[in-house]
Amino acid sequence: MKYKIYLSPPHMSGREMKYIQEAFDSNWVAPVGPNIDAFEEELCRYTGSRHALAVSSGTAALHLALLALGVQEGDIVLCQSLTFVATANPIVYVGAKPVFIDSEPVTWNMCPDALEESIKHYLNAGKKPKAVIIVHLYGMPAMLDEILYLCRKHDIPLIEDAAEALGSEYRGRKAGTLGDIGILSFNGNKIITTSGGGAMLSDNPLYIERARFLATQAREPVRHYEHREVGYNYRMSNVCAGIGRGQLEVIDERVFQRRANFQFYQTALRRIPGISFQKEFAAIVSNRWITAVIIEGHEAGPFQIQNALLEQGIESRPIWKPMHCQKIYKTLPRFEGSVSERLFEHGICLPSGSNLSEPEMCTIIAKLLSVIEHRR
């Protein structure tokens, strides 16, 4: 349907057209060109990463990250369960085996205790995990101190899925730059967009070099088209990179606006019994890409609230269904309590666009409260 209020729509700044026009005027409309080079440089400046690779999607970036780390058929990859399926699918692309790790209840991200249990299990079985993939869910950084400690202790590479977390920070560093490799998404619903696209970040030039080679069909550096291994068509277009350059110029404004949305919702709802939010603990800053709410202890739950909002033309979504509950992955190993399942059962994502107005948020809150109060 055509919504009146979308969950997380694109928000153009007007600055994008300058770079798009330059691409058309110079005829650089292919997956190569000055906007791509500049966008990668600007991503490095913004995030503090030494190297960046702009690609066609966040999923492509994650696939390349696994390949750059040498993950291959039969390897074990420990992956956060509470996430979008695009976090897990690339593990299967390379023939590896996902093992799903439950969340902790504060940030809703990978539980360090469950991660430690899984690492010990596979080390005792003589099968050292090849990589760990954490997710900064809805922009909230995971408990990186504990997770980085475990990965470094056991010499296991860490991939940060920061697809939802551009602009978030952990101890003064941007999300996606603390692990061995970070990935970003610029899909149309993200905090900034290139219409479709993603990026891979790393301080290790060898990882970026390997990923860049594979992303351009693994073409050997000779005059003719020489290929010694399978590659992929994963590079971002120069036009899309131009959109990204204009968007990146306003990233701080977008983070400010999303955080203001969260604060507005929290102020209005935090005194209602049974309502809770993701918590920012000391030394982290979430970009609050999406404001997600847990609603417990009321007769009316997220499903009823979503239906009521839908009647008003307001888009909302459930929290991600955990990967270990998905039909395609439910037979795979997992290390969990019940945190991610509880979050899925009781969670709802509220409209959070950076162009969302205060009257629109008041309408959303009023409708949500009317449903809860009527059916308590």
Give the CATH number of domain 16-248.
Answer: 3.40.640.10
SS3 (DSSP) at 292:
strand
Question: Tokens at residue 35, please?
Answer: 């906007």
pLDDT of residue 1: 66
Q: Taking residues 80-92, what's their average pLDDT?
A: 98
Q: How far apart are CA 185 and CA 183, in angstroms?
A: 7
Percentages of the chain per state (helix, strand, coil), in multiples of 5:
40, 20, 40
pLDDT of residue 375: 47
Angle subtended by helix axes 144-153 and 112-124, to nearest 10: 10
Q: What percent of the chain has pLDDT over 70?
A: 99
Structural domain boundaries in the chain: 16-248, 251-374
Per-residue confidence band for 376, with pLDDT thresholds at 50, 70 and 90: very low
Cβ–Cβ < 8 Å for 329, 88: yes
List, for residues 105-146, the tens digit of each pLDDT value.
Answer: 999 999 999 999 999 999 999 999 999 999 999 999 999 999
Q: How far apart are CA 280 and CA 140, in angstroms?
A: 7
Cβ–Cβ < 8 Å for 56, 45: no
Cβ–Cβ < 8 Å for 225, 172: no
Per-residue confidence band for 32, with pLDDT thresholds at 50, 70 and 90: confident
Q: Taking residues 172-195, what's their average pLDDT?
A: 97
List, for residues 262-299, the tens digit of each pLDDT value.
Answer: 999 999 998 899 999 999 988 899 999 999 999 999 88
pLDDT of residue 60: 98
Q: How far apart are CA 109 and CA 137, in angstroms?
A: 6
Cβ–Cβ < 8 Å for 230, 216: no
Cβ–Cβ < 8 Å for 175, 107: no
CATH architecture of 251-374: Alpha-Beta Complex (3.90)
Q: How far apart are CA 112 and CA 119, in angstroms?
A: 10
- Which pTM was predicted? 0.96
Per-residue confidence band for 155, with pLDDT thresholds at 50, 70 and 90: very high
pLDDT of residue 343: 97
Name the average pLDDT for the chain: 95
Alpha helix stretches (DSSP H) within 192-291: 205-215, 238-248, 251-269
For the cut 60, the answer to whether the pLDDT of residue 309 exceeds it is yes
Q: Taking residues 197-210, what's their average pLDDT?
A: 98
Q: Taking residues 203-224, what's their average pLDDT?
A: 95
